Structure 1
């Protein structure tokens, strides 16, 4: 307990000595002592892989004895340490530092400690026993590890929803942590995200720059907090960010700019004064610390958003605009075309009325369109072949914020955009035709590669493809009509 309380003050040699002794005696510690040890070393940022290995082995044998606080503490400590026993063999992009360490053998599924903790949280009453802050930090811990699947996000989210508001509701950074975790995990629960947006609006004056950025990104990426349904949050986001603008660093600032671009081109989300201040701060941050490639790509989409709004006065400096566009184009060129996209291009070339099909076409805004189809009746069509990763989760038909932003900004440039989603491509059926490729699209969770399966060939007639294209064009026309005031 003393180590946990004073961990930042203890010398590294003392931590090493404690780790060496404790690792050999981990099996003798009770659950409180195990969680205290893990927390102390995580708080201090002191690497002790052998000790964490021992704690992981001991803890997972008796997780049923841990208090709710102990479960949350162990989850947080192992996630914070980025230890192999928690994050698995390959650290996700969002993991917080730490080099590869020893621990449980890598496997296709989650490591044993994380899998055991997930199972323990599913025991009736266990997730509900965590307090709001513990629920938020446990969600964060699983999402930081790149944990996929509906659980434990479903049970933790259900436990969290009725306790988001006073008295003793979720506050400040905990709201941001929960929203970020659920969005990172691609968890689909509009009611929960709506409740988080209400809680965030009520707490927005107590949120720091990083919290505001993470909330804006989470709501934008998950596409479950529409502006029209949550004016209280979005009307306060701009002013609250403006007050703290000097506290934003490059990452949090570019995330905020991108999230605003996703939310809506309406000035209600960010007025002209705030947009000008945000543009000025982006240029200032880039001049002093240099934004990385990913951040510059977000800035480019933010600039396109300013053009959508007609905010010429709030435009970014020319040098930053050009660098952001170059980064955006460079990233697009690194992305290979998918096998599904190539198959669709081949099929569309045989459709009546289609004069030509170009693949991977870069348009004026810098976006790469999957296919540019010249059609006798419809004219030029920007065709997006939308596989599972364009949608929030496996089986979901809700586009991610990134997909929605690309669609909207392409349409705003005057392109007629049509989307061919994977489930409609999967439904195309025809009589078996020897030598045809399998047009079925693998789901995100399929373990085998998406490829031809002998004896299960599926194709589609030219007429079926023509009807699919016509339907997609009609859908685009409905979207344009809905967007036209």
Structure 2
């Protein structure tokens, strides 16, 4: 029976398909779907063919869009010209407003809060303006002119297009765009209508203003607030452009970067090579820590390492070079292999940045460095095309890795001089952007660190002239490093140092402890008279003793003050209290420098401090080098240390190195031998077999620290007073210690104390230092009575012989009665 019923006619189910559409689709036959009805009164002619069954993909795409589908002007309804592109939000019957949950979750536009622009032009005009701005013949001037004329009628999409095209046509950091007031007004317009943009529009605007270099922090902060609310509309490209733009514009947005790190982490597999490189570069620039994201980027980069191009590899390495607390050795080694395989494809300026990144993280890549150096030497013209910044990066990289190639550094120096010679009389504001204080400082630092400063005198002279004309633009770090480089190379530049001494005090509060130590060390090494600068450094250092002073900083700054002869008793007292708990962390060299500085400045009353140094010294005695042993012995002899076991331990250790002492160490050990003799007369000096050699070394290094004119004047006056013999003047030695005006028969003498024996006070005061006290104490222990003449007292007498005679008579009266007669 069932089969008989189908024999006469087809099944009923089939009849429904052949003669009429299914019930579900009947609503499509007579009129367009309700969702499309909100767009126009009649469906577009072009899409009428989809009225019966629109493709599923196209329907799903429309459900995610935020505006009506674009239509050709030929298929537009006459009513369309009078309708806003947001008309669907105004229709109370629109299906978009009736609970489409998918749309509400993905929509970047809060419909209740968007103010409508009453001046917005018709859709036709908006399309025409878009075509005009994106035309091949368009320029940034034509785009901004259009905005100036019609910008108040632009829809939000055209505002973002205008910003994008102006930046694209103008190029990166266009100085004309930066000065153009129309860009400021465009930024204001975008900020006022920021709620109308979705993630793509926001990222385009950020990219445009960051690329052009137009500083509009108010716009960036407004976009930051809006982006935090619409983060679910940002795809990989939008996320990348956002972080890149904020980093390039140097706008702080920590909350946004932390949220983006969370959003980007699940999408990391969708990142391309450029997205990975730009992401890590941006986070390294703003110094936002996101370890999980960094690890994910590193792992994904290793998987896609062969997809990276030349520029993306440079950006990737540059970004990871400034990321801490993550092991990137494997990534850098993988990049090294890719770079060596594609070395000919890289530009030299890119290779300079890559080498700088390797040097920053100290990843060994000697093969890469030598291959690049060889390619430069084979084609010297390549390096001539570099400006100052890549030259500084190249020199810094080789110097940091201690790879010395003299021919390469010579080429760098010659090229840098050619680039800088036209800039000497100019200010940095009129020079190319690569002529920055940081680049000049890095260039000088590199030649100093590699030990080739003396071979680049012309380069240092040029750098000094440029720096002197632009000293106010140097940061604290630049001033400290530049001073250090000139001092390390022993380049005489008194005018530059005096200029630095005048400029530095006003910014010392911004110096780090390391910078304070470096600039003090440089001035002391070059023997530059800068008393005011040193006292300002002492004052600032007191406030920073608990925040960043490390053992090396303590020793360097103490050595600098002692070498410069600066009286800073308050600073050194506080330094002793702060350094005491960390003495065990000092290296033998830093411990020796610290102790020597305190003894030189005459801090011999701090028994507790020196006792702690002595204990630490004995625990590290096996690590001391010969110069450090000699200087530590001299230090404790200078402060009249009377513990035999300490001296005996140091001197016994010195016996094994007796052939390795230089002349300075031998001279110091000679004074130690005299101290040992007067303090421990019953004990045998461990270096007794070297005593004659020690004395000869000390006598050879005893140079007069005052002018011959002062000696001649004092000698003439003493002869007139019938005191002493001319044959003994400046020729008599007491166990190697020279006595300038002696009287051996009475064991009395007159000596002249030069500038090296006095500390410079804040108010032009003069205080005896440790070495002078040490010498006078030894002479007194040896039975001599000394009358010493400070150089500044004698110079104050001028050429008046009567005053000179009266002054000498008073000095002689301080000696024994026999001597004064």
Q: Aligned pairs, how many?
A: 346
Per-residue deviation, 1:152: 2.1
Quote the residue 1:137 is aligned against: 442
Quick one: higher RCO (CA 8 Å, sep 6+), 1 or 2? Answer: 1
Per-residue deviation, 1:65: 0.6
Does the C-alpha gap of structure 1 residues 63 and 371 become closer, same or farther in structure 2, counting only changes over 3 Å?
closer
Q: Does 1:117 align with 2:421?
A: no
Q: Does 1:275 align with 2:588?
A: no
Per-residue deviation, 1:359: 4.4
Whole-Å Cα distance in 2 between the matches of residues 359 and 480 of structure 1?
36
Quote the residue 2:348 is aligned against: 31
Per-residue deviation, 1:174: 1.1
| Partners of 1:297 and 1:327 within 8 A in 2 | yes
> SS of the residue aligned with 2:481?
helix
Does the C-alpha gap of structure 1 residues 325 and 57 become closer, same or farther in structure 2, counting only changes over 3 Å?
closer
Quote the residue 1:260 is aligned against: 561
Q: Does 1:190 align with 2:503?
A: no
Quote the residue 1:171 is aligned against: 475
Report Cα offsets for 1:352-400 as digits up to 9, x if no partner: xxxxx954239xxxx9554689x844443646xxxxxxxxxxxxxxxxx
Does the C-alpha gap of structure 1 residues 77 and 209 become closer, same or farther in structure 2, counting only changes over 3 Å?
same
Written as runs of structure 1 = structure 2, the 5 A alignment for 1:37-436 is: 37-60=354-377, 61=380, 62-85=382-405, 111-123=406-418, 125=420, 128=423, 130-149=435-454, 150-165=457-472, 169-227=473-531, 231=532, 233-246=533-546, 247-266=548-567, 270-272=568-570, 274-287=571-584, 289=585, 291-307=586-602, 312=605, 316-320=609-613, 323=617, 328-329=632-633, 334-337=660-663, 359-361=693-695, 370=700, 376-378=728-730, 379-380=732-733, 382=737, 410-414=771-775
Does the C-alpha gap of structure 1 residues 5 and 293 become closer, same or farther in structure 2, counting only changes over 3 Å?
closer
Per-residue deviation, 1:409: 5.2
Whole-Å Cα distance in 2 between the matches of residues 124 and 39 of structure 1?
21
Whole-Å Cα distance in 2 between the matches of residues 372 and 72 of structure 1?
43
Whole-Å Cα distance in 1 between the matches of residues 554 and 400 of structure 2?
24
Per-residue deviation, 1:7: 2.3
> SS of the residue aligned with 2:694?
strand
Whole-Å Cα distance in 2 between the matches of residues 415 and 237 of structure 1?
31
Whole-Å Cα distance in 2 between the matches of residues 408 and 186 of structure 1?
26
- Superposition TM-score, scaled by structure 1 size: 0.62
| Partners of 1:180 and 1:215 within 8 A in 2 | yes
> SS of the residue aligned with 1:316?
helix
Per-residue deviation, 1:179: 0.7
Whole-Å Cα distance in 2 between the matches of residues 134 and 127 of structure 1?
16
Whole-Å Cα distance in 1 between the matches of residues 501 and 422 of structure 2?
22
Whole-Å Cα distance in 2 between the matches of residues 175 and 371 of structure 1?
34
Whole-Å Cα distance in 2 between the matches of residues 242 and 316 of structure 1?
18
Report Cα offsets for 1:383-421 as digits up to 9, x if no partner: 6xxxxxxxxxxxxxxxxx99x99x9754454469xxxxx
| Partners of 2:554 and 2:594 within 8 A in 1 | no
| Partners of 1:136 and 1:178 within 8 A in 2 | yes
Whole-Å Cα distance in 2 between the matches of residues 372 and 30 of structure 1?
58
Q: Which has the larger radius of gyration?
A: 2
Whole-Å Cα distance in 2 between the matches of residues 144 and 262 of structure 1?
22
Per-residue deviation, 1:325: 7.7
| Partners of 2:444 and 2:485 within 8 A in 1 | yes
> SS of the residue aligned with 1:361?
helix
Which ranges in structure 2 are unaligned for 5 or more consecutive residues? 1-313, 424-430, 618-627, 634-649, 668-690, 704-726, 739-755, 761-767, 778-788, 798-806, 808-821
Quote the residue 2:712 is aligned against: none
Whole-Å Cα distance in 1 between the matches of residues 393 and 422 of structure 2?
14
Report Cα offsets for 1:179-200 as digits up to 9, x if no partner: 1111000111111111122232
Quote the residue 1:351 is aligned against: none
| Partners of 1:39 and 1:73 within 8 A in 2 | yes
Report Cα offsets for 1:133-191 as digits up to 9, x if no partner: 111111111101011322321111111111111xxx00121111111111000111111
| Partners of 1:161 and 1:192 within 8 A in 2 | yes
Quote the residue 2:318 is aligned against: 5
Does the C-alpha gap of structure 1 residues 480 and 413 become closer, same or farther in structure 2, counting only changes over 3 Å?
farther
| Partners of 1:76 and 1:141 within 8 A in 2 | yes
Please report the RMSD computed on the Cα atoms of aligned residues, expressed in angstroms: 3.9
Whole-Å Cα distance in 1 between the matches of residues 419 and 549 of structure 2?
42
Whole-Å Cα distance in 2 between the matches of residues 174 and 222 of structure 1?
18
Whole-Å Cα distance in 1 between the matches of residues 793 and 698 of structure 2?
21
Per-residue deviation, 1:115: 1.4
Whole-Å Cα distance in 2 between the matches of residues 244 and 479 of structure 1?
35
